[in-house]
């Protein structure tokens, strides 16, 4: 990601336009590019269409469905930056997601950007992310791992608002009896069960 930004900066600065107004426009373009979020759409996958967005710090959002306009509005509102469509910027994230959904990848080699989440939600998502593929944890176990053993219900709410499903594996968190509870992705519990079976987890 940084390499792409540096290439764009080199191109912009390679032949700076004369005059203070033109230079100011150049600076604004540079700032817009540095602070942007880029996204693209995956129209077909084993779990249906997906929208994926990345920032300069990592994957910032994955959303089930095709509501591109709503996806962009939500990103702009949450992060307060320009949102641009760019297949090149999102290519690696898309590629790894497709590899995972086809069974050719078990873990992701992607940074994630959770700056739009609260401190509590970040702790919950990071703890869920530590559950290895093929295994599950309960909401109570996640609550205990973040040092708030009485907050199992709040853990469930935080996972329901996971901005990066699949990559941050909230599907690996189940009820205390091992049953699958709600999943916010398209297909609900069916999709959750599909992802767990894909990883080789034993589910109730």
From 62, 170, 174, 201, the catalytic residue: 170
Q: Under DSSP, is residue 126 helix (H, G, I), strand (E, B) or coil?
A: helix
List phi, psi (to 5°) of 124.
-65, -45
Q: What is the pLDDT of residue 18?
A: 56
More confident residue, 3 or 117: 117
79 catalytic per annotation: no
Round the CA-based radius of gyration of the chain to a whole number and report it: 19
As annotated, the residues of the chain forming the CATH 3.30.160.70 domain(s) are 2-101
Q: Is pLDDT at 90 greater than 80 in this prediction? A: yes
The CATH architecture annotation of domain 119-199 reads: Orthogonal Bundle (1.10)
The CATH architecture annotation of domain 2-101 reads: 2-Layer Sandwich (3.30)
Q: Under DSSP, is residue 62 helix (H, G, I), strand (E, B) or coil?
A: strand
Q: Is pLDDT at 162 greater than 90 in this prediction? A: yes
pLDDT band per the 50, 70, 90 thresholds, residue 177: confident
pLDDT tens digit string along 124-155? Answer: 999 999 999 999 999 999 999 999 999 999 99
The answer to whether residues 50 and 67 touch, using CB atoms and an 8 Å cutoff, is: no
Structure tokens belonging to residue 197:
């079976």
Q: Is pLDDT at 21 greater than 90 in this prediction? A: no
pLDDT tens digit string along 52-84? Answer: 999 999 999 999 999 999 999 999 999 999 999
Q: Is pLDDT at 26 greater than 70 in this prediction? A: no
Angle 97-103-106 from CA coordinates, rounded to 5°: 70
Around Cβ 80, how many Cβ atoms within 10 Å?
Answer: 9
């Amino acid at each position: 990601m940084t390499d792409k930004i540096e290439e764009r900066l080199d191109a912009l600065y390679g032949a700076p336009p004369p005059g203070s107004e033109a230079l100011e426009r150049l600076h604004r373009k540079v700032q817009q590019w540095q602070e942007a979020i880029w996204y693209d759409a995956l129209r077909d996958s084993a779990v249906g269409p997906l929208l994926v967005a990345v920032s300069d710090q990592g994957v910032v959002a994955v959303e089930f469905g095709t509501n591109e306009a709503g996806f962009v509005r939500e990103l702009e509102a949450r992060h307060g930056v320009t949102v641009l469509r760019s297949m090149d910027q999102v290519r690696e994230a898309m590629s790894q997601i497709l590899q995972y959904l086809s069974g050719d990848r078990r873990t992701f080699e992607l940074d994630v950007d959770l700056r739009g989440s609260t401190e509590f939600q970040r702790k919950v998502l990071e703890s869920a992310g530590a559950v290895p593929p093929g295994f599950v944890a309960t909401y109570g176990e996640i609550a205990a791992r973040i040092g708030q053993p009485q907050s199992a219900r709040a853990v469930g709410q935080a996972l329901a608002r996971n901005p990066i499903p699949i990559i941050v594996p909230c599907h690996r968190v189940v009820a205390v009896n091992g049953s699958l509870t709600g999943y916010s992705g398209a297909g609900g519990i069916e999709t959750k069960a599909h992802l767990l079976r894909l990883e080789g987890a034993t589910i109730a």
